[in-house]
Amino acid sequence: MMTNKSLKNNPLLEHWDTPFGTPPFDLIKTDHFREAVEKAISIAEDEISRICTNNEPPDFENTIEALERAGEALGSITLILFNLNSAETCEELQSVARELAPVLTKFSNDITLNPVLFERIKNIFGNCSNTELSSEMKMLLHKKYQNFILGGAALNEDQKLRFREITEELSTLSLRFDENVLAETNSWELIISDRSDLEGLPESLAEAAEIEAKSKNKAGWLFTLHYPSYVPFMQYSNRRDLREKMLKAYSSRGFNGNKHDNREHVIRIVNLRLELARLLGYETYASMALTDRMADSPGKVYDLLEKLYTASKPAAYRDLEKIKKTALKHNFTESIERWDWAYYSEKLKKELYDFDDEELKPYFRLENAEKAIFGLAYSLYGLTFRLNALIPVYHKEVKTYEVYDDDGSFLAILYLDYHPRQGKSGGAWMTSYREQKTLNGIDIRPHISIVTNFTRPTDTKPSLLTFSELTTFLHEFGHALHGMLSKCSYESLSGTNVARDFVELPSQFMENYAYEEEWLEQWAFHYLTGEKIPLNIIRKIKEAAKFNEGYACYRQLGFGFLDMAWHTVDNPLKKDVAEFEKNAADKTELFPPVDGTNTSCSFSHIFAGGYAAGYYGYKWAEVLDADAFSFFSKNGIFNKKVAASFRKNILEKGGSEKPMDLYLRFRGKEPSTEALLIRSGLAEI
């Protein structure tokens, strides 16, 4: 398991003589992780031991703060390991991650199951009212105490043993689940050899597919299940049989009865999570997971989902009828299936608004979008970005920026990793290699990373973003701002370390700018002609924001209901995954079931990410972001006073205070669903 090799010249264990103390990716090898983790755990164990053997009465400084600082070296190493395992992995790295995950979980359990340490924390927590602690200190104390309770500290010895077994197995299962999804995504290909089968596809997509085929020494055009290939194929291909083939392949990942099948993993994860919750005294896993959320009970989550379900259902069926009528206009008389939706939706959008994604893309050159988003950060918060090619990166495509505040002070390092690769998981995310904290009076600034899967440039065109990719960029940049602007004392409370149903507010808030004329006209110029994006197209983008919003909301609610169904089971499951999913998601289905497909087996957000019993948070945050942006709209979308309040009360505060307290301080009132329903066009139903 662990190695006893010499630790000499292991860059993970040495001082990083790099710009701003960034990770020395050019020196790090996969073999370094095992020995580095072993040494870092040993260091952390000594730090924990010193806390436990301290003869002074337990207090905030010698116990809570000391615990917060313990394991810093280990934290830095594991951030690199698991971030690379998502953004630039290989079989060897995956193997190391699987091997180390239970080791790291065991170490974490050794801390929370340490009776001496828990007794010290419990003593301080019980006397909290008699101490003079700041609100951030009180929040840290509460979080540490709650983490120990959820970490099994109050269990008896037999229960602690079982707690260890469950958590260590879960740590491995989640990695296996994600590996299987990535393997299924990477292994499937659609090769077209006859040019006539490309009918309907944009020239840019066909060119990218031809380049992809050549890169693999194959003839013709090669399409994959990665978003930049899959999504436009489903929107534009006239070949209905190929759209069906693509959809079935995408929707059956992890559900193919092969070595990458996730069915057993899903049931095992769900049952282990239930057992874990029961051990800790909760009826369901959701009841346990929601204890620190804004929606702090399954009942509150279901109240939100049901309210939006009632509002969106008529709109969803209205959208479906419009798509059916559009299909009839194009002489399609069969029933609408899942693989028809994107295709006829694109045709209807073209009819209604006289534009489509392909017409928008020339105005959304990636380099221009990047500058514009940086410019937006300057307009709102005074931030500037300086490219630094000397900072080591984990792949040659990664760009790195130094970020500065309006007073010239250094704020953060920002890594940008835009395009799909074999070793990169699908989707888009923000993460960090170092989180913000204050240490000995010094503000340690964060290293933030945005990872996406945007359309690659071709031999004849630069990377041109779809509108969806533009909103994704804004979304992840909102998360990055949350991390970069953090101004907290403690790492576990800084940046995006907030309640799961609050973390999406800054990201979804930023998406609103993609629809704003005042921002788009500043930078959206045709990459060939230099022509500014026409005003009528900008207005149509705004109008089209409500297009198919009933269906979109309905679909998102389906994921939320499915997630909650898996995590509100109160007895171990023996059901087939497909049967359970059908019962859970049936109420939000608009289409006939498709044999051989399944959502749960590739639902990485809840089975491999941090969104278990939390997927509803996207809709919860939509309520917040719509309400927050309506405040900006009333005062000016670049209003510096409102932006300063958003920064001070939301972006800088991390999880140092309760989310609703922060929101009330910014907004002056509790959020309501009104702004979201109006923005989505659902208030009219």
Which positions are catalytic? Answer: 476
CA distances from 368 to 208, 483, 520, 558 (A): 21, 23, 11, 35
Q: Which is nearest to 346 in space by CA: 231, 455, 190?
A: 231
CA distances from 623 to 176, 514, 583, 620 (A): 34, 18, 27, 5
Backbone angles phi, psi at 169, to 5 degrees: -65, -40
Q: What is the DSSP letter of 196?
A: G
Residue 643 CB coordination number (10 Å): 20
Q: Are the beta carbons of 67 and 144 closer than 8 angstroms?
A: yes
Query: Angle 286-573-582 (CA atoms, 0-180°, nearest 5)?
Result: 85
Backbone angles phi, psi at 357, to 5 degrees: -55, -40
Rounded distance, CA 666 to CA 652, Å?
12
Q: Are the beta carbons of 344 and 330 closer than 8 angstroms?
A: yes
CA distances from 583 to 550, 565, 579, 636 (A): 22, 9, 6, 46
Rounded distance, CA 467 to CA 456, Å?
15
Q: Which is nearest to 447 in space by CA: 106, 24, 148?
A: 24
Rounded distance, CA 336 to CA 532, Å?
38
Measured between its terminal Cα atoms, the distance across the chain in Å is 60
Q: What is the DSSP letter of 52?
A: H
Residue 410: strand pairing partners: 404
Task: Give the helix/strand (H/E) hosting 190.
Answer: strand 190-192
Rounded distance, CA 22 to CA 79, Å?
12
Q: Are the beta carbons of 434 and 457 closer than 8 angstroms?
A: no
Task: Give the helix/strand (H/E) hosting 447.
Answer: strand 447-451
Instruction: List b or e across 550-569, with b for residues whose CB sees 16 or more CB atoms inside 10 angstroms.
Output: bbbbbbbbbbbbbbbbbbbb
- 256: which residues sit within 8 A by CB, 6+ positions away? 184
